[in-house]
A = this chain, B = another copy of it.
Amino acid sequence: MDGGGRRSRSERAAGSRAATIQDVARLAEVSTATVSRALATPQRVSPEARARVAEAIAKTGYVPNTAARSLRSQKTHMVLVVLPDLANTFFSKILRGIEETLFEAGYGMIISDLDGSPEKEAHLSAFTAAGRVDGAILLNGHLFGQNRDEEGGSAPLSIPLVAICEAIPDARIPQVEIDNRVGAAGMIRHLASLGHRRIGYVSGPRGNILERERFQGYRDGLAAAGLAFDPDLVIPGDYTLEAGVAAGEAVVRGANRPTALFCTSDVMAIGAIRTLASAGLRVPEDISVVGFDDIEFAAVAEPPLTTVHQPRRELGQAGATALIDLLQGRKAPDRIRLKTDLVVRSSAAAPRRTMLKSAGLNA
Contact = CB atoms under 8 A, between A and B. Distances in A.
Interface stretch (A46-54, A147-155, A350-358): A147-155
Contacts of A123: 103
Interface string A50-94: 000000001111011111101100001010000001111101110
Contacts of A274: 300, 302
A87 B96 contact: yes
Contacts of A344: none
A18 B129 CA distance: 7
Given A115-B100, A130-B66, A131-B66, A87 B93 contact: yes
Interface of A: 13-14, 16, 18, 58-61, 63-68, 70-71, 76, 78, 85-89, 91-93, 95-96, 99-100, 103, 108-113, 115, 120, 123, 126-127, 129-132, 148, 150-155, 158, 241, 267, 270-271, 274, 277, 296-297, 300-302, 313
A61 B111 contact: no
Contact of A14 (B16, B61, B110, B153): B153
Nearest to A125: B63
The 8 closest A-B pairs by CB, nearest first: A14-B152, A67-B70, A89-B89, A67-B71, A63-B129, A302-B302, A86-B96, A87-B96
